[in-house]
Structure 1
Amino acid sequence: GLTDSHHIGRILVDARDPRTVYVAATGHLYTNNSERGVYKTTDGGETWNRVLYVDDYTGAIDLAQDPAHPEVLYAAMWERARTARNFLESGTGSGLWKTADAGAHWTRLGGGLPTGATVGRIGLALPTSRPSTLYAVIDNQTLRPEAEELDEDTPPGELTARRLRAVTVDEFARLDDAVVTRFLRRYDFPKSLKAAALKREVKAGKIKIVDLVNYLGDANRDLFERQVVGAEVYRTDDGGTTWRRTHKDRLDKVFYSYGYYFSRIAVDPSDPDRIYFGGVPLLTSADGGKTWTGIGQRGVHVDHHVVFVDPRAPNRLALGNDGGLNLSFDRGQTWTKVNNLPVGQFTTLALDDATPYNIVGGLQDNGVLRGPSTYKPGKSDPSAWREIYGGDGAAVAVDPKDASVVYAGYQFGHSARLNLKSGDRERIRPRPELTADKKEKPLRYNWVTPLVISPHSRDILYYGANRLYRSFDRGDTWSAISDDLTSSLDQGDVPFGTITSVSESPKRFGVLYAGTDEGKVWGTRDGGLTWNDLSSGLAPGRWVTRVVGLPPEPVNTIREDPKARHLLYVGTDMGVFVSLDSGKTWTALAAGLPHVPVHDVQVHPREGDLVLATHGRSVYLAEAAPLRKLTAEVMAKPVYAFPIKNVPGDPGRGYGEHPWITWARDPVLARIPYWSKDGGAVSLTIKDENGSVWKELSDTAQPGLNVIEYDLVVEPARADAAEAAAKAKAREKEAREKELRDREQKGRKGPAAAASPSPTPVSSDEEEEDKPEKTASTSGKPMLDAELERVLADPLRSSRKRYLPAGKYTVEVRAGGSTAASTLNVKPPKESGAGDDEDEPGEIE
């Protein structure tokens, strides 16, 4: 059992026997299957038996157990069906079931509970202090009566979509232009549509009221404006025999239309009347659900999924929501944000070309964030990552010549051009035309609508709805360059028949490819004048059915390294894989990466870094540049040393560090990559330009690519010897230079020199001004003045750690009888000066 259940709603460990476990198996999302319902194990999970089953569309979503009588359990069953174009949120199979013999027999409960095709997801909570009481929060998908008054949150005198349906042509013509303008902008009508002209065309019958109503189709608004009953809380005090709704009035603006995303409830174990449940807001009741209070506060994200009430101290709550984790120690009066958990659900990524470069990413319900690639959790300032756009972050792109210009979107294609320096933002979503002569159908936008910058011009953008659009002015205006590239099948409550991916050839302008959610691939070689359906080439006999190294799981993204065409990466539902041979074979890149869906992969062109958007564990980064050189020729060698990234050097390192405040220390690490064909013992020697050995390292290599991290620490004896050799060589050089200057001086003395007029004396101040200011590279030269060295000496130098100073070093890697070498550059720090606090061109605060 449980090999094909796919989704689990609840795991419940028996109160008496930890080897007895009950599981609410929800089943497949997109297809019906029989492995769903309630499963039970009595041997700690070695074997499972299904103990409750309704049908192959109805799964179990929640469980509750009577702690005083563990043989008594309650199960919430949920019928739902999902297709690419529709989500059926409810069904007749939904309902509550009870067993009094540990799952051997079950009875469906009624006694006042809603029944029928509109019963959706159900959540359960049972207070241990009164186990005969049980709460159920139900997503009721029943449509509200049309006569029921609706709170539109709009002042009188303003025009809304609902009010528009009741407006006559004459009444529309009498509307104030400002009212019409606000209506047009609020509902994202074309910018070219002006109030006065629209009123004239409506009055003349060229544009009808129904045309305006039809234009208002919007998937995002539908989530909030579809009028269903929504959240309801029911209670029983007799073990499920009879039920009553706890509240008289509707619980508006809690579930909206998508209660399937929530429907969890919690109860105080010591107080059966104190309950908590969440939807978009978080609610609590102290009187058994008769009255409710919202307890979300600043710093508490919306969309709440689970509340844990500490049974040992019920005033302590843990809250899981779309923003992460919050804690309360006073029953929700105040909250603390636990902000150090890497649980961001990233969907998309873009990288700029700054130094260091920045990462821009769209997240599920946490907008679009931007932060430096050098960010280190626990070390860097948390505010270095900041939100630059809202909603469910979607497609992102960065202007290749101006990193302050970012294109960002949120769900269903709501895109904007942002200027991070000026703070300006401009909405740039293409919209269908609406004129007296042309009335286009509403466009369909995918949840993550693609928007890309042309590789040929920073001003050219492409945007995929159900048609492909192009802009020559950074999104200010758009033109459709395709017809509908989908089959426009009947629509449900999920936009379907949309473009999901767009790509333009970097070698030839106008060679474009578009993929759709129907599984079609379209191509044009003339900028959209003509399109060809390329999907016919994907006939069953020509599919690649097996790829070496890739597991049988969904592939979410594929990326080619921009500097190495043979190097490919794919992100799947379980991780990331690399191919060194253009996709013939694949290898998992699993070291340090959890098993997590990877939704986007980007490779930084300059650095070669691999950056991953994981859906649940935030952003991961790997220094993958060595893979660019990992060719068959390299892999045939017994040992190979790859280029090493420069590391910063600092003569002040180790000074000023507090002995007890250690969290702020940020050690510099040189990551030395090398190839070992057979693995085994490997030694590394680091030498300076004089041949002096500063450090010797040893490693046990695995066959393949290895990386050793070196913290630049050196042994004092080696450092002293190397510095002494450097001083000796510097003195020799100084002596040679002095001898050369003396010879030149003697050569200038003679009759001609004697007849020349005496040069104008130069003051010592002028002489100093003429000397070039020492840079970091020259100031790092060995000190040759022994007296000054003694006066400026560090009295504790012998007890301090010593580090590799700025300079160029050779790293020799030896394995067996073979040796390979690479270069390590320890870069000197920039000279401090008056301009240090000023931004360099293109940098953003």
Structure 2
Amino acid sequence: MSVITTSVHLLLLSFLFLGQPKYAIAQKKKNQKNTESAESLSDSALYHGLQLRNIGPFRGGRSVAVSGVIQKPHVYYMGSTGGGVWKTEDSGISWKNISDGSFKTGSVGDIAVAESDPNVIYVGMGEHAIRGVMTTHGDGIYKSTDAGSTWQQMGLDKTRHISDVIVHPQNPDIVYVAAQGAAHGPTEDRGIYKSTDGGATWEKILFVDENTGASGLSMDMTNPRILYAAMWEHQRYPWTVKSGGPGSAIYKSTDSGETWEKLTEGLPEEMGKVGVSVSRANPERVWANIEAEEGGVYRSDNGGKEWTLVSDDRITRARAWYYTEVFADPQNPEIVYVLNAPMLKSIDGGKNFAPVPTPHGDNHDLWINPHNNQQMINGNDGGANVSFNAGKSWSTQENQPTVQFYRVITDNRFPYYVYGGQQDNSTVAIASRTAEDGIGWKDWYAVSGGESAFLAFDEDDPQLVYGGSYQGNISVYDHATNMTKDIMAYPVIGLGSIPKEMKYRFNWNAPIVMSQHDKKTIYHGANLVLKSTDGGLSWDEISPDLTRNDTTKQGVGGGPFINEGAGGENYNTLAYMIESPHQAGVLWTGSDDGLVHVTLDGGQNWKNVTPSGAEEGIINAIEVSPHNASTAYITLIRYKLNDFAPYVYKTTDNGESWTEINQGFDEEDFVRVVREDPKRKDLLYAGTEGGMYISYDGGQQWNAFSLNLPVCPINDITFRNNDMVIATSGRGFWILDDVGALQQGAENLADASLKLFEPKPTYLLDVPVPEEPVPGMGQNPMNGVIIDYFLQEEVPDSVLITMEVLNANGKVLREYDNQKDESFKKYPGGPGPKPVLPAKAGINRFAWDFRTSSIPNVPDVFVNGDYRGYVVPPGDYQIRLALGEETQTVNCTILPDPRLDATDADYAAQEKILAAIEKNVKEIHQSVNAMRKAKDQVKSINAILKDMEGKEVLVDTGKALISRIEDWEENLIQPKQKTFQDVINFPNQLNAELLNLKSRVGSHAPQPTEGAQQRLDDLLAEWKTHKTAMKQIIDVELAAFNQLYLEQNIPAVILPLPEEAPEAGK
């Protein structure tokens, strides 16, 4: 072999136990600009790192809009009455919201998928089952041409409530809309609309009058020129619902809506709400569900010319304003469905109806596949459910986070629980976090009261929970027995009663308050204030009537055909009540007719402190400032009087004078609640019909602050452990963990390049959070200490940001930076990627997971263990953030889990063992890596010398050394394991045993066992033996190999040359 040689030193093991290199910190030039600075940041960009989490519960809320796709039997759409549009592609096993970020309102009235093109979807906004409470209006029509991936608003903004959208079966550009119109006042934006250009323009093709809207529309799908429209004269007042009058009627068009004929033959002379449906199986057969004195289910067998009452069963028309829906089976003309409570089905042409059990009792919408009448989707007050056997069984509704909550209150347990009453369901107490992947069904339960409940309890000892329901019902739930007791002050049924004849008039959402100063005192608001000091066994009236007490507005709750006596129309009642946190006996009340009263002496004297000039409306919330006993805020809402403007008032003198503080709200985004930050004076949060706002100056100016909240009404806000907890109408409970950055002046950082905010004291609960939320479960908080920091500009990857965690002695326990490890390779049984600090302009959020630095791995070796560092004990720590030459440090406190009986000594003993394990595993892995590199060098040398004459002894020595290293290594790691199943196939070696012991000792309860200490002693003794063997290999065998190598005088570089080619002809 011919070679070319050069001389260099051969260095072996020079890398053994070398430390990691330190990063140098680069800094931008001061005049260098990046993408966006704090001065130009909008609130949404400034606070991009502050993200709320939805905790659920995953139990469906109201839905009055559903649809399916003829060509795709597993694809369906659901419209929530506050939560937007949802889609399932697996027949209801899972649902995904597809309207967030595109829609400006969240209440859905109807959904229509074009039969000729399933990519085309039209959504009519504004629920059509218009309740007196928990009803939200919409903003017209939205359209998608890509099956819901993107949306465009298509006008009809002022229609408010849409009952039906019908798409031509052959032409997706021809679409009809039944606009029910405003619920609370006259409007000309009602009637039937038509578009022939896919919604680009609209023509009103049927209009009766400003009080009559379209409650339904049905098309003959075999002849789409034929339409039937149900028109409904109606209006909701705060004290009654008018459902019916001369305007209510059924109309028919045979020329695509150009002209209309009013149908009368056989129908009641005067009607209320009407539902209509034409049979696809027999287009001459038309069904109508009619509210009237002679109401019920009507049928026509000649295209509407003549009608016959086929069923006057009262269940088909009960509570007509809320239901009155009829659906013809598309394949069998004898089958018809009527939706009410319950869902009803007739198989004999409407003569007899039988209930069809559904997951929730109150039913509002039904879509039946015209090609398969066994396949359907039902929308009800518990969400949407799919059936493939005509309603014999249904998919679950327990996977839809569309709950409508009225109010929110929290206790002081750990983790704290969040409470509220769900519309059309029970009350809920749900954990704010869990020790699992998410917050599931087992993490919440029902307590006292019902759907409309205010709840009250001792936050430090919530054994007894007081909860209300409509018509003044109130009960107390005992956690010890899981039982409830009725404690109504004057027990009556209430339902169907005339309010002016009642002893007490209660709001649908009657306030209940427990005194913060005397936990034995409970207040219950009727038209006056009731007080109990014995757990509700007796009640005293401590106020006069605190409402306008207008008896002309205390009559029947509905008419002219059907009374609405559930309690939602009770008027001249107290809607809100709050006790001052500063002084016992100071109590504020607000009525649903706009009056505000306050007592300073426990109810002996009351003063009307209603703001001068404030109009009649609902005092929906009162907030007494936590910082000033004389300062209070009230929110007045007037949507029930067709006024959607925001009204917020502030007093600094106990109501002697008031100032309106409405600057910055959208003109129709009325405000439901205002809360003041518990730590920072004048920092206010407002929940509105469409989202959240924030004010930094006591309400002088408001700015949008919805962050990642979906568009939906925000009904209530509270705080616990420095978290903001929010109740929505349509999307359940949400939590913004740690509002510390807002309290520490995040909005005033125009001149700062860097700001590190001090995190709140954090309870030690180590629960890794999945990268993506688990379907069907509420989200847990980020795992660890949540750390917020502000950057003036976005920091590029070329500039280093570092974060260090230090203990009380100043020792660095953990280091982070903004550099992604491009060399990282994921493999089974290996470590995860290193966390990377976000570096956007504005506030960034990061979490230190309570752990020390990760343990180095042996590349490509599977270990059934956790490479993460150990969890530190409770105590005081510091967070240090550095950007260039600027460094900021804040304190950080970790609190012990209050549920544990553990001492500082217990945590210290745990840490001592964990630190020892971590130190030795790190040493083992570094040793193996070092010996592997030595082995690789020997292999490389042998590969070069194996064919050279006179090098046989060196090669054989090298082979022996390689074998010796491999034998040594096999005692420390198990390279044969490639998957978790291999842990039962190949023996686990020393590193795995130590990591296993680490996971056992590192449990949440810190006290180490005697067995753990004994096992550690044995494992460390074993490592000591192998460490001695390693020293023997290095000092003797490797040294001998190096010496032999040097004695051979072998060049450091050996370059083989090609053999010389023979001459031609030889």
Output the TM-score relative to the length of structure 1: 0.71
1:764-793: CA deviations, max 9, x gaps? xxxxxxx98974333322349969986996
1:264-287: CA deviations, max 9, x gaps? 122221112111122111111111
CA contact (8 A) 1:648 1:668 kept: no
2:1060: which partner in 1? Answer: none
For 1:574, which of 678, 690, 714 is the aligned residue? 690
**C-alpha displacement of 1:446:** 0.5
Structure 1: any 5+ residue segments left out of the alignment? 143-228, 434-438, 728-770, 807-826, 835-845
Q: Report the Cα distance in structure 1 between the residues aligned to 2:474 and 2:520, rounded to whole angstroms.
A: 16
For 1:243, which of 299, 307, 310 is the aligned residue? 307
Confirm whether residue 314 of structure 1 aligns to residue 365 of structure 2.
no
After TM superposition, the structure 1 = structure 2 runs for residues 536-685 of structure 1, keeping only pairs within 5 Å, are 536-538=611-613, 544=660, 546-604=662-720, 606=721, 608-626=722-740, 627-630=742-745, 636-644=751-759, 646=762, 669-670=783-784, 671-681=786-796, 684-685=801-802
Alignment CA distance shift 1:422-1:636 (3 Å): farther
1:28-73: CA deviations, max 9, x gaps? 1111111111111222222222111111110011111112221211
**What secondary structure, in the 3-state scheme, does the structure 1 residue paired with 2:468 have?**
strand
Which residue type is aligned with residue 362 of structure 1?
A: G
**C-alpha displacement of 1:311:** 2.2
**C-alpha displacement of 1:109:** 0.5
Which residue type is aligned with residue 271 of structure 1?
A: N
1:831: which partner in 2? Answer: 1006
After TM superposition, the structure 1 = structure 2 runs for residues 104-115 of structure 1, keeping only pairs within 5 Å, are 104-115=258-269
Q: Report the Cα distance in structure 2 between the residues aligned to 1:787 and 1:585, rounded to whole angstroms.
A: 57
1:716-749: CA deviations, max 9, x gaps? 687899x99x99xxxxxxxxxxxxxxxxxxxxxx
Q: Report the Cα distance in structure 2 between the residues aligned to 1:784 and 1:64, rounded to whole angstroms.
A: 71
**What secondary structure, in the 3-state scheme, does the structure 1 residue paired with 2:321 have?**
helix
1:153: which partner in 2? Answer: none
Confirm whether residue 339 of structure 1 aligns to residue 491 of structure 2.
no
CA contact (8 A) 1:667 1:711 kept: no
Q: Report the Cα distance in structure 2 between the residues aligned to 1:649 and 1:350, rounded to whole angstroms.
A: 23
**C-alpha displacement of 1:618:** 1.4
Q: Report the Cα distance in structure 1 between the residues aligned to 2:681 and 2:276, rounded to whole angstroms.
A: 54
Alignment CA distance shift 1:378-1:252 (3 Å): farther
Confirm whether residue 372 of structure 1 aligns to residue 431 of structure 2.
yes
Q: Using the TM superposition, name which of 47-56 and 522-531 deviates more.
A: 522-531
Q: Report the Cα distance in structure 1 between the residues aligned to 2:606 and 2:908, rounded to whole angstroms.
A: 63
Confirm whether residue 691 of structure 1 aligns to residue 826 of structure 2.
no
How many residues are treated as equivalent by the alignment? 661
CA contact (8 A) 1:571 1:577 kept: yes
Alignment CA distance shift 1:796-1:705 (3 Å): farther
Identity, % of aligned positions: 30
**C-alpha displacement of 1:642:** 2.1
RMSD: 4.0
Q: Report the Cα distance in structure 2 between the residues aligned to 1:475 and 1:282, rounded to whole angstroms.
A: 39
For 1:137, which of 251, 272, 289 is the aligned residue? 289
Alignment CA distance shift 1:667-1:346 (3 Å): closer
CA contact (8 A) 1:611 1:621 kept: yes
**C-alpha displacement of 1:543:** 6.0
Confirm whether residue 232 of structure 1 aligns to residue 296 of structure 2.
yes
For 2:542, which of 462, 478, 481 is the aligned residue? 481
**What secondary structure, in the 3-state scheme, does the structure 1 residue paired with 2:396 have?**
strand
**What secondary structure, in the 3-state scheme, does the structure 2 residue paired with 1:326 have?**
strand
1:273: which partner in 2? Answer: 334
CA contact (8 A) 1:51 1:103 kept: yes
1:689-741: CA deviations, max 9, x gaps? 433664322566554333246779999687899x99x99xxxxxxxxxxxxxx
Alignment CA distance shift 1:706-1:358 (3 Å): same
Confirm whether residue 260 of structure 1 aligns to residue 321 of structure 2.
yes
2:414: which partner in 1? Answer: 355
For 2:571, which of 477, 496, 510 is the aligned residue? 496
CA contact (8 A) 2:814 2:851 kept: no
Confirm whether residue 782 of structure 1 aligns to residue 782 of structure 2.
no
For 1:535, which of 596, 601, 610 is the aligned residue? 610
Q: Report the Cα distance in structure 2 between the residues aligned to 1:620 and 1:380, rounded to whole angstroms.
A: 12
Which residue type is aligned with residue 689 of structure 2?
A: D
Alignment CA distance shift 1:279-1:416 (3 Å): same
**C-alpha displacement of 1:428:** 2.5
Structure 2: any 5+ residue segments left out of the alignment? 1-154, 493-499, 558-568, 616-656, 820-836, 860-865, 871-904, 925-969, 981-990, 996-1001, 1010-1066
Which residue type is aligned with residue 685 of structure 1?
A: T
Alignment CA distance shift 1:688-1:59 (3 Å): closer
Q: Report the Cα distance in structure 2 between the residues aligned to 1:92 and 1:581, rounded to whole angstroms.
A: 52
Alignment CA distance shift 1:70-1:548 (3 Å): same
Which residue type is aligned with residue 83 of structure 1?
A: Y
1:4-42: CA deviations, max 9, x gaps? 221111111222321222111112111111111111122
Alignment CA distance shift 1:426-1:328 (3 Å): same
Alignment CA distance shift 1:477-1:60 (3 Å): same
For 1:415, which of 458, 470, 474 is the aligned residue? 474
For 1:447, which of 497, 508, 524 is the aligned residue? 508
**C-alpha displacement of 1:798:** 12
1:771-824: CA deviations, max 9, x gaps? 98974333322349969986996647999999xx99xxxxxxxxxxxxxxxxxx
2:230: which partner in 1? Answer: 76
1:61: which partner in 2? Answer: 215
**What secondary structure, in the 3-state scheme, does the structure 2 residue paired with 1:246 have?**
strand
Q: Report the Cα distance in structure 2 between the residues aligned to 1:712 and 1:459, rounded to whole angstroms.
A: 40
After TM superposition, the structure 1 = structure 2 runs for residues 8-407 of structure 1, keeping only pairs within 5 Å, are 8-116=162-270, 119-140=271-292, 142=293, 232-247=296-311, 250-256=312-318, 258-296=319-357, 300-374=359-433, 379-389=438-448, 391-407=450-466
1:747: which partner in 2? Answer: none
Which residue type is aligned with residue 830 of structure 1?
A: A
Alignment CA distance shift 1:782-1:579 (3 Å): farther
**C-alpha displacement of 1:371:** 1.1
Q: Report the Cα distance in structure 1 between the residues aligned to 2:512 and 2:435, rounded to whole angstroms.
A: 30
CA contact (8 A) 2:251 2:262 kept: yes
Alignment CA distance shift 1:104-1:625 (3 Å): same
**C-alpha displacement of 1:368:** 0.2
1:314-339: CA deviations, max 9, x gaps? 11221111122222221122233231
Q: Using the TM superposition, name which of 378-387 and 442-451 deviates more.
A: 378-387
Alignment CA distance shift 1:310-1:788 (3 Å): closer
1:120-158: CA deviations, max 9, x gaps? 211122222222221111123x3xxxxxxxxxxxxxxxx
1:441-478: CA deviations, max 9, x gaps? 62111000001111211111221111112222232221
2:80: which partner in 1? Answer: none
Which residue type is aligned with residue 695 of structure 1?
A: Y
Confirm whether residue 517 of structure 1 aligns to residue 575 of structure 2.
no
Structure with the larger RCO, 1 or 2 (CA within 8 Å, 6+ apart): 2
Confirm whether residue 505 of structure 1 aligns to residue 580 of structure 2.
yes
CA contact (8 A) 1:603 1:611 kept: yes
Output the TM-score relative to the length of structure 2: 0.57
Larger Rg: 2
2:844: which partner in 1? Answer: 706
**C-alpha displacement of 1:104:** 1.4
Q: Report the Cα distance in structure 2 between the residues aligned to 1:560 and 1:449, rounded to whole angstroms.
A: 23
**What secondary structure, in the 3-state scheme, does the structure 1 residue paired with 2:519 have?**
coil
Alignment CA distance shift 1:22-1:549 (3 Å): same
**What secondary structure, in the 3-state scheme, does the structure 1 residue paired with 2:389 have?**
coil
Which residue type is aligned with residue 817 of structure 2?
A: E
**C-alpha displacement of 1:634:** 5.6
CA contact (8 A) 2:297 2:316 kept: no
Q: Report the Cα distance in structure 2 between the residues aligned to 1:232 and 1:799, rounded to whole angstroms.
A: 70
1:492-551: CA deviations, max 9, x gaps? 312110111111211111222111111111122222222221125346997637412555
CA contact (8 A) 1:432 1:442 kept: no
